[in-house]
């Protein structure tokens, strides 16, 4: 079961659902009782905005093979059965600004 602040690899769907490609995603919220969880897309295409850049010091465990960003505007709900493998976990101090940026994109308030 994916945990909050983990980065996992899974077949990430294209927007039109025509296909998918194995991609890393960040888990900002844990799975519910049906195994569904929220993810934010991670990409090495650094030109996308809004986004938050990942650097090696952000990781408590693992790392990304290339410079990468979290797309705070690309949020999906997927099922934990899709997880191919775990890549790493972000430090709490690095995860919180990403969570704040996602919340800003969703126009929500955190408690």
Average pLDDT of the chain?
92
CATH of residue 10's domain is 2.30.30.110
Q: Which of 8-17, 31-40, 67-76 has the lowest mean pLDDT?
A: 8-17
Question: What residue numbers bound the domain in which 61 lies?
Answer: 6-94
DSSP 8-class letter at 78:
E
pLDDT at 34 over 90: yes
Residue at 108 is within a domain: no
Residue at 104 is within a domain: no
Confidence of residue 13 (pLDDT cuts 50, 70, 90): low
CA dihedral 25, 95, 2, 34 (to 10 degrees): -90
Confidence of residue 21 (pLDDT cuts 50, 70, 90): confident
Mean local confidence (pLDDT), 4-12? 92
Give the tens place of pLDDT for each residue, 74-86. 999 999 999 999 9
Residue 11 has a pLDDT of 85
Residue at 73 is within a domain: yes
Residue 20 has a pLDDT of 72
Give the tens place of pLDDT for each residue, 48-73. 999 999 999 999 999 999 999 999 99
Residue at 1 is within a domain: no
Taking CA atoms, 82 is separated from 28, 58, 61, 107, in Å, by 16, 25, 21, 28
pTM for the whole thing?
0.90
Of 4, 97, 86, nearest to 50 by C-alpha is: 97
């Amino acid at each position: 079961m994916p945990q909050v602040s983990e980065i996992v690899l899974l077949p990430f769907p294209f927007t039109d659902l025509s296909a998918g490609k194995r991609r890393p995603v960040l888990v900002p919220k844990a799975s519910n009782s049906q195994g569904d969880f929220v993810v934010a897309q991670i990409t090495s295409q650094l030109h996308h905005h809004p986004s938050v850049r990942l650097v090696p010091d952000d990781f408590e465990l693992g790392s990304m093979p290339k410079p990468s960003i979290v797309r705070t505007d690309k949020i999906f709900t997927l099922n934990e059965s899709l997880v191919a493998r775990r890549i790493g976990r972000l430090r709490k101090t690095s995860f919180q600004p990403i969570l704040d940026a996602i919340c800003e994109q969703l126009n929500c308030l955190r408690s």
